[in-house]
């Protein structure tokens, strides 16, 4: 079974390293006779601007949605008010909706505020629709921090922001790591918003990859090289800090 799971990666790698005259249907499983990087060169030339677009999108969107989620999680776990549980459920619902059900008004709205077909528009979209998941993860994370700490600080006269800055934030490092990895992966890989909100100039990498593989003239070795280039950043993150990725996965699916 493990072999079956690894097989697609093997095929991706060997196909992407083949020179064009070796890419034939009947030799698909054979190792390349000589290693060639020409498909990478070609795919990278095609995808480089989109790779930059995705980086411009992912970095601010990840940071902003993590900060928002942290604040919300702090409020919903340590400053509960009448109806705060109801507020949490109200936010959580947004995590599960099919985004098709908000797409038409969303595009109208972005056109009106002049952010349609821009990375800025995509950042806004990912920050807003990231609120439920980041709030959920942080709320569960902060629930584990003893309330006595907060109570003691309140007696010492610390206020909402003071407690957040001096007590919560220093304890939030691993929470931020989990949320940032999770959002980074999700936003990097997202396709529906990317393909409906942007066109040629500002398209993120996944849209460009889809266009590359959708065109009839592009050979398989280039497609596989493109897929590897597009997948590499999130794959690296998983290989380096997969533990946190899985933690985010579990935190986002089970109530803590």
Partner 1 sequence: MAILFIMPSIAAVGIFVYGFISWTGYVSLTNWNTLVKDLSFAGLKNYIFLFNDYRFQSDLRNTLFFTLFFIFGTLGLGFLLAVLIDQNIRQESLFRNIFMFPMALSFVVTGVVWQWLLNPSTGVNLILAKLGMENLPRWYTDTSIAFSFPLGNIEFGIPVAIIAVVIAAVWQMTGFSLAMYLAGLRAIPDELKEAARVDGATEFQIYRKIIFPMLLPITISITIIMAHISLKIFDLIYAMTGPGANFVTDVPGVYMFETTFRGNFYANGAAIAMIMLIFVAIFIVPYLIANRKGD
Q: Footprint of partner 1 on residues 63-92 (CB under 8 A)?
A: 68, 71-72, 75-76, 79, 81, 85, 87, 89-92
Is there a contact between 207 and 50 (Cβ–Cβ < 8 Å)? yes
CB of 7 to partner 1, least distance (A): 8
CB of 148 to partner 1, least distance (A): 18
Contacts of 169 (CB under 8 A, 6+ apart): 70
The binder of partner 1 chosen from 118, 149, 169, 189 (CB under 8 A): 189
CB of 43 to partner 1, least distance (A): 12
Nearer to partner 1, 45 or 159 (CB): 159
Q: Is 83 left (phi over 0), alpha (psi -120 to 50) or beta?
A: left
Distance CA 250, CA 13 (A): 30
Within residues 24-53, the interface with partner 1 by CB under 8 A covers: 25-26, 28-29
Helices (H), 215-251: 220-251
CB of 154 to partner 1, least distance (A): 12
Distance CA 219, CA 214 (A): 11
Within residues 87-126, the interface with partner 1 by CB under 8 A covers: 87, 89-94, 96-106, 109
- What angle, rounded to 10 degrees, do the helices at 119-143 and 220-251 form? 30
The DSSP call for residue 22 is G
With contacts defined by CB under 8 A, name the span among 33-41, 111-119, 131-139, 148-156 that binds partner 1.
131-139
Backbone φ, ψ for residue 129 (5° rounding):
-80, -5
Nearer to partner 1, 5 or 45 (CB): 5
The binder of partner 1 chosen from 51, 59, 131, 149 (CB under 8 A): 131
Distance CA 237, CA 244 (A): 10
With contacts defined by CB under 8 A, name the span among 44-52, 148-156, 167-175, 189-197 that binds partner 1.
189-197
Question: The dihedral of CA 52, 54, 60, 66: what is its sign?
Answer: negative
The binder of partner 1 chosen from 62, 185, 198, 203 (CB under 8 A): 185
CB of 45 to partner 1, least distance (A): 18
As separate numbers, helices (DSSP H) first and strands (DSSP E) second, the chain gives: 12, 0
With contacts defined by CB under 8 A, name the span among 42-50, 111-119, 165-173, 242-250 that binds partner 1.
242-250
Residue 43: closest CA among 20, 22, 69, 66: 20
Q: With contacts defined by CB under 8 A, how many residues of the chain interact with partner 1? A: 79
Binding mask 143-182 for partner 1 (x = CB under 8 A): ----------------xx----------------------
């Amino acid at each position: 079974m493990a072999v079956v799971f690894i097989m697609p990666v093997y095929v991706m790698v060997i196909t992407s390293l083949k020179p064009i005259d070796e890419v034939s249907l009947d030799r698909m499983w054979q190792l390349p006779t000589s290693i060639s990087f020409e498909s990478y060169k070609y795919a990278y030339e095609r995808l480089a601007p989109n790779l930059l677009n995705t980086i411009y999108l992912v970095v601010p969107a990840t940071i902003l949605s993590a900060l928002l989620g942290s604040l919300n999680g702090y409020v919903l776990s340590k400053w509960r008010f009448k109806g705060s549980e109801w507020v949490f459920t109200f936010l959580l619902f947004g995590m599960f909706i099919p985004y098709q059900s908000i797409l038409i008004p969303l595009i109208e709205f972005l056109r009106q505020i002049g952010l349609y077909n821009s990375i800025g528009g995509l950042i806004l979209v990912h920050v807003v629709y990231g609120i439920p998941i980041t709030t959920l993860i942080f709320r569960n994370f902060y629930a584990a921090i003893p309330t006595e700490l907060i109570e003691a600080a309140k007696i010492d006269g610390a206020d909402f922001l003071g407690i957040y800055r001096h007590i919560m934030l220093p304890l939030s490092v691993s929470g931020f790591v989990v949320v940032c990895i999770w959002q980074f992966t999700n936003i990097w890989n997202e396709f529906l918003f990317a393909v409906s909100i942007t066109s040629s100039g500002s398209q993120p990498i996944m849209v460009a990859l889809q266009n590359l593989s959708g065109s009839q003239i592009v050979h398989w070795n280039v497609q596989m090289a493109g897929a590897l280039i597009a997948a590499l950043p999130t794959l690296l993150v998983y290989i380096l800090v997969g533990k946190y990725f899985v933690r985010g996965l579990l935190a986002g699916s089970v109530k803590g």
